Structure 1
Amino acid sequence: MSESVAKPPAWVVEADRWFPKSNRSPFRARAFLRELLAGAKGGERYADSGELLLSELVTNAVVYGADRGTLIRVIVSLAEDGPLRIEVHDIGAGRPMPRQVGTEAESGRGLLLVKSLSSRWGCCPRVLGFGKFVWCEIPPADDQP
């Protein structure tokens, strides 16, 4: 009898980029992802949700991460036939948690979007113990819940 072991996805596209902790970084991160997906076969199936969720995660790193002057690292991986994996690294402490906000609130819904549009998401400490990274996996548009 043989055991079946799930193989990790073979990443077709992997890229990373560093962004300054600034209000322009969500825009720049979206442009980075858009360019990456434009060059990947079937990349358009991830563009809408990918750009939205990347923007939310980078915005959280800018707003809640460590002091200005630090950098935010974005790592994007795309597996053949899905998923798109996005990681946003910062040196801020704490773990992000989705929260319930009132209908009049102008912010606070970013992680609820991440939770609802991704197939999986989470937060992990960075390797050397400085900060964290928040990640999500996004199915192709035709597979989304």
Structure 2
Amino acid sequence: MDASRSMRHIPVRVPARFARNHRNANEGGRRARMFLMADVFAVSADPSQVAVVRRRLRAALGPDHRCADTAELVVSELVTNAVVHGCAPGDPVRLTIRRLPRSRVVITVTDTGRGRGTVPRLKLAGSAGTNGRGLFIVASIASRWSVRRAGTGFRVRALIAPRDAELASCMGFVLLDDFPE
């Protein structure tokens, strides 16, 4: 399956205090309607597609986005989990990237549920283990994250904010300092 992509306008109800200068804000109401852009695309459940997803994320966010590095790490972990645990080979993995006000980003990855895994959940991996850290990393650096049932599969969503990105980059420097060269 080749990667497919579409752009969607997503109607969102926004409190008036955030939408005062927005052209769709209604004058007398408490809430305004605003449209957010979302990049929506699907890739094949193949480990090589993780790099494709990272490139698409960078293109969607732009080169100077404050959360680009952190969002790239989160999308890599979520798509890898979907490919390895949530899908049969060749199944579609759906990705949605939403840019929110104040440089926040919501990443949503949906699998088909036909893989060998069960419900995505946090677990502690042993120090010698080579896997089992994906959702732990996501939970550590995302403002919020959730897992919901989506048909036969699961939808994992993570909210990345600039503060999370700053903390993640600081943690990276601390971790690198701990290892001798």
Normalised-by-shorter TM-score class: 0.7 to 0.9
The DSSP-based 3-state class of the residue aligned with 2:108 is strand
Q: Percent identity?
A: 31
The DSSP-based 3-state class of the residue aligned with 2:129 is coil
Structural mapping, 1:129-144, within 5 Å: 129-141=151-163, 144=166
Q: CA deviation at 1:142?
A: 7.2
Check whether the contact 1:117–1:144 (CA below 8 A) recurs between aligned residues.
Answer: no
Taking a change above 3 Å as real, the CA distance of residues 142 and 57 of structure 1, as seen in their structure-2 partners, is: closer
Distance of 1:95 and 1:6 partners within structure 2: 32
TM-score of the pair, normalised by structure 1: 0.83
Q: CA deviation at 1:83?
A: 2.1
Distance of 1:78 and 1:12 partners within structure 2: 7
What runs of 5+ residues in structure 1 fail to find an aligned partner? Answer: none
The DSSP-based 3-state class of the residue aligned with 1:112 is helix
TM-score of the pair, normalised by structure 2: 0.68
How far does the alpha carbon of each residue in 1:35-90 deviate from its partner, in whole angstroms, 9 at most, with x for none?
Answer: 01117xxx521111100000000000000013112100000001110420000011
Structural mapping, 1:105-144, within 5 Å: 105-126=129-150, 129-141=151-163, 144=166
Structural mapping, 1:89-100, within 5 Å: 89-92=110-113, 94-100=118-124
What runs of 5+ residues in structure 2 fail to find an aligned partner? Answer: 1-12, 19-33, 168-181
Check whether the contact 2:67–2:165 (CA below 8 A) recurs between aligned residues.
Answer: no
- Aligned pair count reads 136
Check whether the contact 2:65–2:103 (CA below 8 A) recurs between aligned residues.
Answer: no
Mapped pair 1:15 → 2:39: yes
Q: CA deviation at 1:106?
A: 1.3
Which one has the bigger strand percentage?
2
Q: Which has the larger radius of gyration?
A: 2
Could you list the structure 1 runs, at least 4 aligned residues long, displaced by more than 6 angstroms after superposition: none
The DSSP-based 3-state class of the residue aligned with 1:44 is coil
Q: What is the one-letter code of the residue matched to 1:13?
A: M
Q: Which of 52, 60, 63 is the matching residue for 1:28?
A: 52
Distance of 2:52 and 2:36 partners within structure 1: 22
Corresponding residue for residue 176 of structure 2: none
Corresponding residue for residue 52 of structure 1: 73
Taking a change above 3 Å as real, the CA distance of residues 30 and 11 of structure 1, as seen in their structure-2 partners, is: farther
Check whether the contact 1:92–1:131 (CA below 8 A) recurs between aligned residues.
Answer: yes
Distance of 1:113 and 1:30 partners within structure 2: 17
More relative contact order, 1 or 2 (CA 8 Å, 6+ apart) = 1
Taking a change above 3 Å as real, the CA distance of residues 44 and 6 of structure 1, as seen in their structure-2 partners, is: closer
